[in-house]
Structure formats: C-alpha cells, structure tokens
Amino acid sequence: MNKQLRKAVIAGNWKMNKTPAEAKALLGEIAPLVKGAGCTVAACVPFVDLPAALEAAKGTDIKIGAENCHWAESGAFTGEISAGMLSSLGVGWVIIGHSERRTYFGETDATVNKRIRAALNAGLTVILCVGESLEQREQGVTAELVALQTKIALQGVSRSELSRIIVAYEPIWAIGTGRTASAQQANEVCAVIRGTVAALYDRAAADALTVLYGGSMNAKNAAELLAQPDVDGGLIGGASLKARDFAEIVKAASNG
C-alpha cells in the first residue's frame, strides 16, 4: 500500500449469504471492531439485506454497497435491480463484473462496461473486478487478459469519473478455493492494472487509483499481501462473514 498516494480499502463481498436479521447482527458485531479504522471499510451485501444493512451502519465507519446492478434505468428485466434503485435507498457502492457473475450468469466485458456507466451516472462508487482463470494463467496470458478487461470496462469513463472507480484483481482460480496468489503474484497483476490505467489516462490518475486484491485474502495472509506496493486493500469473501476475521484484515490495512 501507498497511503500517501491513494486510499486503502477493505470491502466485504457477502455473496448470497445472510438474511436481513443476520446482516443486522453481523454489522453490529463488526462496527465496534473497525471503529476509527485507518482505511475505508465497506460491506457489499445481497439486495434484500440493503435496507437492514444501511440502518445498521448508520453512525458507523462502514459503507454499504450492492453486489451488482443492471445497465438500464428501468424496463422488462425481471429479477434485476437498477443503479437508480440502489442510490434511492442510500447505497453508495456497487460491485461490477465479479468472476462469479461472469462465470455463472453470462457477464461479458461489454456488459460490465454498460453496468459501470449506469452506476457512475447514478452517483455510485464502483468496485470493478477483473481476473484470469487457472487455464489462462497457465497459458501465460494473465497480463494481456487483465489489461484487456480493464480497458473495455473503462471505455467512456472520464478522468474525473475514474475517482469513483476501484479495481479489484480477482484471480478466478483463487476465489472460494482457499488458494491464494502469492504476494508477488498479486502485486504483479495489480501493477499491470495500474500501468493500463496510466496508459489510458496518465500516471497521476494511475497513482491515485485504489487497486484491491480479492483472491481468498484472510486474517492470516492479509498483512503480507497488503505490504505490497501496488496492493491497496482487499475485496474479502468468506472472511467478511466472520466479524473478528474481517476486523483483523481491516487492522492490517490500517497499520500498513
């Protein structure tokens, strides 16, 4: 991390877990443990949990985000939620392009870009996810693939809007598997993302960009990962559902 240049962020991605009552209880556990944290703390929760989460987070240091949004303002898109619906609730953040959305629900680089455009128009902060499969890593195309995903996702995003985008490197082979990229591997790809943004915009914009690592970061490996110069925080899956584990990761980011 380089806190002199950019913000450190630890964001939880709850995925399809927790009822509204359980969300309220978990945030109630987390809030006192992360009070006064030296980094930005967020929880991205299922749609049905958002009202309860927003209520539970009032007066705390926790920002609340959603896990996806549609690109249209309204229309015949059964089961989808628009960015405007999120902002009307008071939600400030949204995850776009998570590998599980790409793998299981047909998300493409093009639809990721459309969703980002809608989220920015609604005033949301976006956590853009990019990353490669194990096969792609073994083929040696990680850098090219991640750069391409980043370029397409950011098409039409102005330099000023870039300040509301956080990029999360999520190696698909490390999501929910317990496998983690080495600190060096994580930093290398985060540096590729930063270099891509520098080429698209300029070095100052790239230096200000917060880049997270999202491949099974936990309480035990967080400090080593966060010590890397281009890793500015984490998008946390399973560990975000355990108050003390999540708080330990926040502590590591605060002390870094």
Taking only the tens place, the pLDDT of each residue in 172-215 is 887 666 677 789 999 999 999 999 999 999 999 999 999 999 98
* Domains of the chain with CATH codes: 22-242 (3.20.20.70)
Token pair belonging to 206: 């790239």
Angle CA(180)–CA(150)–CA(236) in degrees, nearest 5? 35
Q: Which pLDDT belongs to residue 181?
A: 77
98 is catalytic: yes
Q: Exactly one of 70, 98, 107, 132 is catalytic; which is it? A: 98
Distance of CA 71 to the CA centre of its chain: 18
22 is catalytic: no
Token pair belonging to 166: 């956080």
Mean pLDDT by 10 residues, the chain (256 residues): 89 98 98 96 98 98 97 97 98 96 95 98 98 90 96 98 97 75 91 98 97 90 94 96 97 90
Q: How far is CA 99 from CA 45, 105, 131, in A?
A: 16, 10, 7
Report strand pairing: 93-96 vs 62-66.
parallel
Token pair belonging to 6: 């950019």
Q: Which pLDDT belongs to residue 174?
A: 77
Contact 236, 248 (CB under 8 A): no
Contact 152, 112 (CB under 8 A): yes
Q: Exactly one of 100, 107, 132, 170 is catalytic; which is it? A: 170
pTM > 0.85: yes or no: yes
